[in-house]
Structures are given as C-alpha cells and as structure tokens.
Amino acid sequence: GIQVEQSPPDLILQEGANSTLRCNFSDSVNNLQWFHQNPWGQLINLFYIPSGTKQNGRLSATTVATERYSLLYISSSQTTDSGVYFCAAWRDAGNMLTFGGGTRLMVKP
C-alpha cells in the first residue's frame, strides 16, 4: 500500500516566524492533498497539489512528484495557524486517502 510520512512531528513557532512542513510518499501516488485540522477538530482543505506549486495567502505548497515529496510553507505564522497539518495521498479515482502522521504546530503569541 501507499506510505506517507510527515516531518517534523511537532513544531513550535513564535508568531511571525516562517516554517516548512514536509511530506514524503511512496511511488505510484498521483494525487496529494494538504489539510489543516484546527484545535476544534475540523479538517480544512488547504491544497490539492499532485504536482507543481500553489499559493493561497500566507500558505503555499510544492509537490515534486518525481522525487516523491511535497512541502507546505507557512509564512508570517499566526496563532490561528495552530493545529495539526496532514498530507494525504491516493492513486486512482475512488481510492481511499492514506494519511501521514501529521505535523502538530503550535504558534505562540
């Protein structure tokens, strides 16, 4: 099956700092999505990014499919960015997502 690994597992930042979260995945993955699970437990879509780079405000993501990794960048972090960031991958239409173990981010004021 698909393997998805995330690093680091935990991250503590001071408000205003930048960070990079990493997601490595096994081969034969052709779909990848980043989620933010906020402290209330809601899973929020951030990016669908099977390849290339996307940006949305202070967040951006890059996936290099040939090297089997994806990066999520958070710039000028805010306390509201706290929570757990998951990447999840799948192969083909209808197939289940395989989640990484998540990166737990705490942004301190």
Residues near other proteins, by CB under 8 A? 31, 33, 35, 41-43, 45, 48, 50, 84, 86, 88, 94-99, 101-102, 104
CA distance 53 to 23: 14
Please identify, using beta-carbon distances, which residue of 25 and 86 lies nearer to other proteins. Answer: 86
Shortest distance, position 42 Cβ to other proteins, whole Å: 5
Shortest distance, position 22 Cβ to other proteins, whole Å: 16
Distance (Å) of CA 47 to CA 71, 74, 99: 11, 13, 14
Please identify, using beta-carbon distances, which residue of 75 and 102 lies nearer to other proteins. Answer: 102
Counting Cβ atoms within 10 Å, is residue 82 exposed (0-12), middle (13-18) or buried (19+)?
Answer: middle
Please identify, using beta-carbon distances, which residue of 89 and 107 lies nearer to other proteins. Answer: 89
Please identify, using beta-carbon distances, which residue of 38 and 76 lies nearer to other proteins. Answer: 38
Shortest distance, position 18 Cβ to other proteins, whole Å: 23
